[in-house]
Amino acid sequence: MKKILAAIDFSNATPGVVTAATDLAKAFGAELHLLHVIEPEPTYTAYGLSPGEFPEIHSFHEESRKRAKEALMTSAAEISTKGVAPVTHLSDGSPLLELEAKVDEIGADFVILGSHGHNVLAALILGSVAEGMVRKAMVPTLIIPAGEAK
């Protein structure tokens, strides 16, 4: 195990993912990569609105990006205190597609991500990044169950 990719979404699943990724990176002397994906901004063209008519959505996306970058850097700084210097990645798009692309891009040989424990119906309607990654993964993938929200 040389490169670990940990997908974090700053939910209650994130602490378990970060802990497992840090522990494994230390144990194997592996390079640790943290990925956060910002989902694309919605489009309102189906409702007759052009992007120029709804500029607030762009402001919201930029603010989301800024906050995500700060949270990602905070996570990386906390991990660094444990003797692992993670590489951070911030992407925009579909979380599953971006995760798959990042695995290929960096040559990750292990992936860690969290599961939110959606029921079957919710997973069918909402989709599940964890489920999709397990089904499509070309490298070993560890799913960490979400902890209890505090």
Contact 112, 4 (CB under 8 A): yes
pLDDT in tens, 76-126: 999 999 999 999 999 998 888 999 999 999 999 999 998 865 555 444 434
Contact 111/141 with Cβ under 8 angstroms?
A: yes
pLDDT in tens, 13-39: 899 999 999 999 999 999 999 999 998
Domain boundaries, the chain: 3-145
One of 3.40.50.300, 3.60.21.10, 1.10.287.130, 3.40.50.620 is the CATH number of 3-145, namely 3.40.50.620
